Amino acid sequence: MFEGLRDRLSGIFKDIRSRGVLGDKEVDAALREIRLALLEADVNFKVAKDFIAKIRADLIGVAQAAYIDPSQQVVKAVQASLVELMGARGASLERAASGTTVVMFVGLQGSGKTTSAGKLALRLKKQGLRILLVPADVARPAAILQLKRLAEQTETDAFDSEGMSDPVAIVEAALNRAKSEHYDYCIVDTAGRMHVDDALMHELRRMKTAASPHEILLVADAMTGQEAVNLGEAFGEAVGLTGVVLTKMDGDARGGAAVSLRAVTGVPIKLVGVGEKLDALEEFHPERMASRILGMGDVLSLIEKAEAAFEPEAAQAMAANLQKGAFTLEMLRDQMKQMSKMGSMSDVLSMVPGLGAKLKGAEVDEREVTRTVAIIDSMTQEERLRPAIIKGSRRKRIAAGSGTEVMHVNRVLKQFTQMQKMMRGFSKGGKKRNQMKLMQQMLNQ
């Protein structure tokens, strides 16, 4: 996410730092490079132009403060402008003061509307809310079946539109059911359509009139860059938007859509899809995204992921054992399983301030977590508690049982021994820097 833009900006800041001063000449040179970096990231031309003008204004009057690291002056100005550009603070989904809240997804075919509807249903279900999914995409029969399956997977309800061909009638009937059965949210999945198709856009406006939605969210593929911005502008003019859901953010190395959308469309990015799994939908936080673009990590998102992944009881039990200096292979296995719920290791690493940049280019083998768990599962209870007894023949048996090689078993045991020493250091009041070493060790298993 944002890899190309982040790398370019990091290089620019490094060059400024090497100069040691920040005069008018240095400011102009830096701003030219930042502008090029934004355009290469597919940021809207006018947005990039206004962005540079804002930073220039912010740097006037402080450019001669050579006693301050010049690169930090520029970073501060860029970060503040990025946050302002993307929306100062995150925008949450609207919630009706009473009754059912209606959310309608619109966008092109293939942008991820149906999947996003399922992801949002799961997110709201976890908050203890009742959800009704409405399959109003009659143009693609598979969409109705897909939404029903998503309802089953998320343990929410789907409106039965079997035999109905008019999406407006489907919306009206579904909304009647949602209100009579006191659903908290009614999520409407509409057919994909081009904004230049007058007939389909008219149909969408009729659906809007029938549903009176509290939210009309454009679902756009982040990887289409400037095209996503153009769609936001077109759909906004045609039906009115309250927000945007950017999908495939995890695969977008440029970030132009995320940076440009709010400035061009006037509506905020509310949610971002960051993976294929149903729980890979997050709120969009401008200040956190700005930090990630600048290579400063995203500690708050990392904490939220950890809180969602680690069960409180298990975390408390782990903490109690660590205070006693106890750390076993079973504890390592359980922790690895919990960490895998946080997403890809590459994504987790990018959220750790300073760590993502230092490990850039290093291979993060996502299979290592699965391999480590399989190796520990292939051990006997006694071997997990007393790894010192695992000698040659036992290592061969464990490798065969886990479908790995002896070298993999040796690596897991070596890494476990190193981590066990650090854990014992914690129980004796180890220093804080060991905590970062431990995180790096566990993320790179």
Read off the pLDDT of residues 217-242 as tens digits, 9 standing for 90 and up: 999 888 877 788 888 888 888 888 99
If one compares 339 and 125, the residue with the highest pLDDT of the two is 125
Does pTM top 0.85 for this prediction? no
Average pLDDT over residues 260-267: 84
CATH topology of domain 3-86: Four Helix Bundle (Hemerythrin (Met), subunit A) (1.20.120)
Which class is domain 101-289? alpha beta
Check for a shared fold between 3-86 and 301-443: no
User: Would you say residue 334 has pLDDT above 90?
Assistant: no
Rounded CA-CA distance 122/135 in Å is: 16
CATH topology of domain 301-443: 434 Repressor (Amino-terminal Domain) (1.10.260)
pLDDT given at position 131: 96
Average pLDDT over residues 335-356: 61
DSSP state of 251: G
Average pLDDT over residues 138-145: 84
DSSP state of 223: G
Would you tell me how many other CB atoms lie within 10 Å of the CB of residue 197? 11
pLDDT given at position 300: 53
Rounded CA-CA distance 331/333 in Å is: 5
Lowest mean pLDDT among 63-67, 258-262, 368-372: 63-67
Assigned token pair, 17: 């730092």
Q: Dump pLDDT digits (tens) for 281-312.
A: 988 888 888 877 777 654 555 555 555 555 66
pLDDT given at position 435: 47
Domain boundaries in the chain?
Answer: 3-86, 101-289, 301-443
User: Would you say residue 48 has pLDDT above 80?
Assistant: yes
Percent of the residues in the chain that have a pLDDT greater than 90, as a whole number: 28
Average pLDDT over residues 422-438: 53
Nearest to 171 by CA among 184, 152, 154, 190: 190
User: Would you say residue 62 has pLDDT above 70?
Assistant: no
pLDDT given at position 352: 53
State the average pLDDT for the chain.
80
Assigned token pair, 37: 């970096």
